[in-house]
Amino acid sequence: MAGSDGYHVRSDDLLAHGGTLDSWSAEATAIAGTLRQVTADTGRADSDDEGRGGPADAAALLETVAAALTATGGRVRTCAADYTACDVEVGGEYATVGAEGVS
């Protein structure tokens, strides 16, 4: 959106960032699965006698990060949709910058 202060929302950029967060989430989930498989293959406990974390602990952390990335990506996409809807609602008084330029 662009007002007298020159503030712009690039909805396409927001959507792209949401997609990037989803991609990172998928990578983290895949790595977490690999780490869990390492634990399953070796039969080792999740931590050693000194309490150091093992692959399953790292996998759990990555799964938490992946969930947060997915949730944040969703919020970013919601913001992009809200900005676009608001711009339409006010009759284009503000400009939402998209792939085709300022609308």
Query: Do the domain assignments include residue 91?
Result: yes
Q: How far apart are the first and last CA of the chain?
A: 10
Q: Which domain holds residue 73?
A: 9-102
Where are the strands (E) in 1-103, listed by range?
Answer: 9-10, 96-98, 101-102
Query: Do the domain assignments include residue 44?
Result: yes
Query: Do the domain assignments include residue 17?
Result: yes
Token pair listed for 15: 């959507």
Overall domain count for the chain: 1
For residue 43, what pLDDT is reported? 61
pTM greater than 0.85 (yes/no): no
For residue 83, what pLDDT is reported? 83
Query: Do the domain assignments include residue 46?
Result: yes
Query: Do the domain assignments include residue 1?
Result: no
User: Is 70 exceeded by the pLDDT of residue 28?
Assistant: yes
